[in-house]
């Protein structure tokens, strides 16, 4: 555990570790706006989403992520928009991001659409070095905390979709930024991440649907991350599935349609790397609440 915790400290004081600079999600397929702004408004009605994720339970300084968001189309136009607030804690750092998404849709043949998305965001970083166990009290790098350090950013995305499938590409934060404390000379370089995502729904029978999906993340200085998931929906009420993160973890997924407009989901990850020796897995839970202007629009619960 001490070795892993040292890694977190080095990350915070400037070592070039880029593997997880942006929050990681297992159930990305239910709220893609976190990684692709072009998704906003694609459901055709207002959708409110809240998520909490605690990663690597039992490991000191492990990431904890909370997210709440809303997205909807603008009636009578080809536009949609969304807003979100994200809190991401890792080690002694606490970062809050506020983002606004705007989309423009092109209507294509066969009831398909191609959406262009733009994300504008700002994050506030706090680092409290006093929460560390300092063995050398004279270390200058640990003397001054970082308080509400502001970093603006912009992102872009493409999202092609119809009733049965979707495919997207995005860069949620285009700008490479340097987060540092002038006095401590501590620095972390924030690199932009490229996301590719896709999925398709298959009707296996009148009450059983199957949806494979994937997301891939590419960032300079880190190995390619590839997530593959499979989900089954029974009677348009209950969802169960599994996911695999390449060379990192396996996950079990479950969801239930509590009411016509209220859905709850849960995911559990277990590591396939040596990191599993230091934690008992990751938990992720979310609630999705949909508001319908016209209930007849909802022929079946959205699978993405």
pTM for this structure? 0.85
Which residue, chain included where needed, has tokens 């929906």? 233
State pLDDT tens for residues 113-162: 999 999 999 999 998 877 776 666 555 555 678 888 999 999 999 999 99
- Which tokens sit at 277? 């020796």
Closest by CA to 285, choosing from 249, 261, 256, is 256
Q: What pLDDT, on the 0 to 100 scale, is given for residue 99? A: 97
Domain boundaries, the chain: 47-291
Buried b (16+ CB within 10 A) or exposed e, 125-160: bebebeebeeeeeeeeebeeebeeeebebebbbebb
For the segment 14-33, the average pLDDT, to the nearest whole number, is: 69
pLDDT confidence band for 15 (50 / 70 / 90):
very low
Q: What pLDDT, on the 0 to 100 scale, is given for residue 61? A: 87
Topology (CATH) of 47-291:
Porin (2.40.160)
DSSP annotation of 12 reads H
d(CA 237, CA 256): 6
């Amino acid at each position: 555990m001490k070795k892993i915790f040292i890694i977190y400290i080095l990350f915070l004081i400037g070592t070039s570790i880029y593997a997880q600079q942006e929050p990681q999600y297992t159930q990305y397929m239910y709220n893609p706006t976190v990684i692709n702004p072009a998704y906003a408004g694609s459901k055709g009605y207002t959708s409110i989403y809240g998520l909490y994720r605690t990663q690597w339970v039992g490991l000191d300084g492990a990431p904890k992520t909370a997210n709440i968001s809303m997205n909807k189309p603008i009636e009578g136009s080809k536009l949609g928009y969304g807003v979100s607030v994200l809190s991401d804690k890792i080690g002694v750092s606490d970062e809050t991001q506020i983002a606004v998404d705007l989309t423009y849709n092109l209507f294509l043949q066969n009831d398909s659409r191609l959406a262009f998305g733009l994300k504008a965001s700002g994050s506030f970083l706090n680092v409290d070095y006093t929460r560390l166990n300092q063995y050398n009290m004279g270390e200058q790098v640990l003397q001054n905390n970082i308080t509400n350090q502001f970093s603006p950013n912009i992102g872009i995305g493409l999202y092609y979709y119809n009733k049965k499938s979707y495919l997207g590409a995005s860069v949620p934060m285009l700008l490479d930024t340097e987060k540092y404390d002038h006095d401590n000379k501590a620095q972390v370089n924030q690199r932009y991440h490229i996301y590719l995502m896709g999925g398709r729904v298959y009707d296996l029978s009148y009450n059983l649907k199957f949806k494979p999906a994937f997301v891939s993340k590419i960032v300079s200085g880190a190995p390619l991350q590839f997530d593959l998931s499979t989900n089954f929906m029974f009677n348009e009420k209950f969802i169960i599935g599994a996911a695999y993160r390449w060379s990192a973890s396996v996950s079990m997924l479950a969801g239930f349609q509590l009411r016509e407009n209220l859905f709850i989901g849960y995911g559990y990850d277990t590591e396939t790397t040596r990191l599993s020796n230091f934690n008992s897995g990751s938990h992720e839970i979310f609630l999705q609440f949909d508001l319908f202007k016209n209930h007849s629009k909802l022929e079946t619960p959205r699978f993405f």
